[in-house]
Structure 1
C-alpha cells in the first residue's frame, strides 16, 4: 500500500515538472521516512549517493558521451550523409534511405540519439525538401532514424541497463549490433514499399558516377576505423567497456584535432556539454537508487513477483504487459529514467520467468527507443522541431508511418530472441 502511494506521488511530481532525478529522490526519501523514520533516511542518504556515483563502471558513460559530443562538433555527419546519398542516389527514395544509413553511422560513432536527430535534421531535411519530400515525411524519417543511435553500440541506455542489472555491458553492447542493423534495414525496406504504394510521397532518386561515390568515402576512413576499433575491443575481449569508451573518446579527439575538424575551443565545449549531460544522468541514478532502497525495504519487488506467479499467467502474456508498460512510460518519461525506475521490478520478474537478461536489455532499449518519438514527451521530435523550426504536430504526424516499421522490428525481436543473443554467445 505504501509503495503504491509513493509511486503515485512520484508520478505526480513528474507531472508538475520536477526533474526526474529529484522526483525519484524526494519520493524515495519520503517513503523511507514513513517506513523507517529519520534513522532510515540518515542511514541511506549518508552513503547511497556516493556509492551510486562512485562506480568505476560508470566512467563508461561520460567517455561515450564525450565521444558523441566530439563527433557531433567535428562535422563528420554531413560526410556520412553525403556518402550515403551518393551510393543510394538512384534508389527511389534514396535521400530518405540515406538519412537512415547516416543516422545508423552516427549511432555507431557516438551513441547519442538526440545528437543524431539534431545533426541529421539540419543536414538531411533541407536536402529532402529541395528534392520534393513533404515536411512531415522529411521530419518523420529524421526523427525516427535518430533512435538508431541508442541501439547500435556505443549505447548509453545499454550501459545503464548493464550497471543496474549487473549484466555484462560488453555483451549488451555487442547484442545491439544485429537489432540495430535489422532496424535500419526494415526502415529502408519500408520506405521502398511506401514509395511503391504512394509514389507521390517519396520522389525518385538521382544517379551519381562511381567517381563521385568513391570520393565521398574518403573523409570517413578515420572515423570508420575508430568505430571498428571500439567494437572489436569489446567483441574480442581485448578491453573492458570502460577502456573501449576511453579509446573511442581519445581517438575521436585526436582525429578531430589532427584533421582540423575541431579546435581546442570546440574540444572544451564538448567537454563542458559532457559534464552537463553526465551530471544529469548521475542525478537520475542517485535518485533512482534512493527510491530503489525504499522499494527494497517494502519488499515490493518480491511481493509483486510472488503475486504474479500465483496467477499462473503465461510468461508471454506477462512479457506483453511489461512491453505495454514501457510504451506508456515512454510517452511521459526519458528513456534512462524509465530504465532506472522500472528495472528493479521488471528485471527480477523477467529473469524469474526464464527469459535471457541480454535479450531483455535489447527489448527494454527498443521500447525506450520508441518512447523517444512518441508524444507528448518524444525527445527526438522536440529536437527536430526546434532545429528545423517546424510545428511539433507536423513532426509527430510524420513519425506515424515510420513507427509502424519500428513495431515490426519489435515484434521480430520478441518472436526471435536469437537476433539479440547470437553474437554475444560467441564472446567469452
Structure 2
C-alpha cells in the first residue's frame, strides 16, 4: 500500500510541474518516513545526497557536455555536413542522407541529442529548404537524426546508465558504435526507399565534381582527431572514460581555437551551459538515489522479480513489457530522468532473466531515442521547431516515417544481441 501511495505522490508532483529531481526526492522521503519513521531520513538523505554525486566517474558527464558545447559553438558540424553533401547529395534524398551522416559524425563529438538537433537544424534545414524540401520533411529528418548523438559515443545517457548500474562505462560507450552505425544505415536506406516510392518527396541536390569532393575532405580533420582520441582511447584501454572525456573537451577547444571558429565569449557561454546542464542532471540524480534507496529498503525490485517468476511469463514477454513501458515514459519524460527512475527496478529484473546488461543498456537508450521524437514532450521536436521556426505540429508530422525506420533498427537489436556485445568483448579491459 505504501509503495502505491509513494508512486501516486510522485505522479501527482509530476502533474503539478514540480521539477523531476525534487519530485523524486520528496516522494522518496515520504516512502522512507512511512516505512521506517521520520528519523530514517535525517541520516540517510544527507548521506545519499553526498555519495550519489561524490563519484569520480560522474565527472565524465560534465566533460562530455563541455566537449559537446565547444563542438557546437565552434561550428565543427558545418564541415561534416559539407563533406557528406558533396559525396552523397546526388543520391535520391541525398541531402537528407547527408544530414543523417553529418548528425552521426557530430554525435561522435557531441553526446547530447538536443545539441545535435539544434546544431543540425541551423545547418542542414536552410540548405534543404533551398532545394525544395517541405518544412515538415526537412525538420522531421533532422529531429530524428539528432538522436544518433546519444547512441554513438560519447553518450551522456550511456554514462548515466553505467553509473547507475555500476557497469563498465567504457564498454557501454563502445557497445553503442555498431548500433549507431546500423541506425544511420537504416535511416539512409529508408530515405532512399521513401524517395523511390514517393516521387518528388525529396529533391536531389547538386552533383559535385570529384575535385570539389576531394577538397572538402580537409574538413574531416577535426572529426578524425576527436574520434581517434575518444573512441580509440577507450577501446585501447590507454585511459579511463573520465580521462578520455577531459581530453576530448580539451582537444575540441584547441581545435576550435586553431580554426578560429570560437571566441572568448562563446567559450564562457559553453562553460555556463555545461554548469547548468550538469546541475540539472546531478539534481535528478540525487532525487533518484533517494527514491531508489526507498525502493531498495522496501525490496520492490526483489518482490517484482518474484512476482514475475510466479506469473510464469517467458523472458521475451517480460522484455516486451519493459520496452512498452519505456516507450510510454518516453512520451512524457526526459531521457536522464527515465533512466534514473526506472533502472533500480528494470535492470535487476531484466538481468535476472539472463539478459546481458550491456545489451539492455543499448536497448534502453534506443527506446529513449524514440521518446525524444514522440508527442507530447519530444524534446528534439521542440528544439528543432524552436531553431527553425517551423510549427510543432509540422515537425511532429515529419517524424512519422523516420520513426518507422527507428523501429526497424530496434527490432534488429532485439533479435541479434551479439551486434551490441561484439566490440566490448574484444576490449582489453
Common fold, TM-score beyond 0.5?
yes
What residue number does 1:327 align with? 327
For the 8 Å contact 1:86–1:213, the answer to whether it is kept is yes
For the 8 Å contact 2:105–2:223, the answer to whether it is kept is no
Structure 1 position 219, deviation (Å): 2.5
What residue number does 2:215 align with? 215
Structure 1 position 205, deviation (Å): 3.2
Paired residue secondary structure (1:46): helix
1:425 aligns with 2:404: no
In the superposition, the TM-score normalised over structure 2's length comes to 0.98
What residue number does 2:346 align with? 346
* Cα distance in 2, alignment partners of residues 312 and 355 from structure 1: 17
1:281 aligns with 2:281: yes
* Cα distance in 1, alignment partners of residues 290 and 107 from structure 2: 32
Paired residue secondary structure (1:427): coil
* Cα distance in 1, alignment partners of residues 222 and 124 from structure 2: 23
Paired residue secondary structure (1:422): helix
Q: Deviations over 1:56-91 (max 9, x none)?
A: 000000000000000000011111111111011211
What residue number does 1:47 align with? 47
For the 8 Å contact 1:223–1:252, the answer to whether it is kept is no
What residue number does 1:138 align with? 138
* Cα distance in 2, alignment partners of residues 8 and 306 from structure 1: 23
* Cα distance in 1, alignment partners of residues 302 and 19 from structure 2: 28
Paired residue secondary structure (2:229): helix
* Cα distance in 1, alignment partners of residues 116 and 268 from structure 2: 20
1:409 aligns with 2:409: yes
Paired residue secondary structure (1:201): coil
What residue number does 2:239 align with? 239
* Cα distance in 2, alignment partners of residues 46 and 184 from structure 1: 44
Paired residue secondary structure (1:167): coil
For the 8 Å contact 2:95–2:204, the answer to whether it is kept is no
Q: Deviations over 1:307-327 (max 9, x none)?
A: 101111110000000000000
Q: Deviations over 1:232-290 (max 9, x none)?
A: 11001111100110110111111111221112222111111100000000000000000
What residue number does 2:381 align with? 381
* Cα distance in 2, alignment partners of residues 219 and 314 from structure 1: 51
Structure 1 position 19, deviation (Å): 1.0
What residue number does 1:308 align with? 308
For the 8 Å contact 1:359–1:417, the answer to whether it is kept is yes
* Cα distance in 1, alignment partners of residues 134 and 49 from structure 2: 49
* Cα distance in 1, alignment partners of residues 279 and 231 from structure 2: 26
* Cα distance in 1, alignment partners of residues 176 and 90 from structure 2: 30
* Cα distance in 1, alignment partners of residues 205 and 117 from structure 2: 23
* Cα distance in 1, alignment partners of residues 364 and 339 from structure 2: 8
* Cα distance in 1, alignment partners of residues 252 and 205 from structure 2: 33
What residue number does 1:253 align with? 253
Question: How do 1:387-402 residues align onto structure 2 when only pairs under 5 Å count?
Answer: 387-402=387-402
What residue number does 1:205 align with? 205
Q: Deviations over 1:349-385 (max 9, x none)?
A: 0010000000000000000111100000100000001
What residue number does 2:186 align with? 186
* Cα distance in 2, alignment partners of residues 170 and 309 from structure 1: 32
Structure 1 position 203, deviation (Å): 1.2
Farther off after superposition, 268-277 or 220-229: 220-229
Paired residue secondary structure (1:137): helix
How many residue pairs get aligned? The number is 428
What residue number does 2:270 align with? 270
* Cα distance in 2, alignment partners of residues 90 and 383 from structure 1: 29
For the 8 Å contact 2:83–2:219, the answer to whether it is kept is no
Structure 1 position 301, deviation (Å): 0.9
Q: Deviations over 1:114-159 (max 9, x none)?
A: 0110011111111111111111100110000000000000000000
For the 8 Å contact 2:70–2:252, the answer to whether it is kept is yes
For structure 2, list consecutive stretches of 5 or more residues without a partner in the other structure.
none
What residue number does 1:295 align with? 295
For the 8 Å contact 2:151–2:365, the answer to whether it is kept is yes
What residue number does 1:21 align with? 21
* Cα distance in 2, alignment partners of residues 313 and 231 from structure 1: 39
Structure 1 position 328, deviation (Å): 0.2
For the 8 Å contact 1:140–1:396, the answer to whether it is kept is yes
For the 8 Å contact 2:76–2:222, the answer to whether it is kept is no
* Cα distance in 2, alignment partners of residues 266 and 128 from structure 1: 27
In the superposition, the TM-score normalised over structure 1's length comes to 0.99
RMSD (Å) for aligned C-alpha atoms: 0.9
* Cα distance in 2, alignment partners of residues 222 and 92 from structure 1: 28
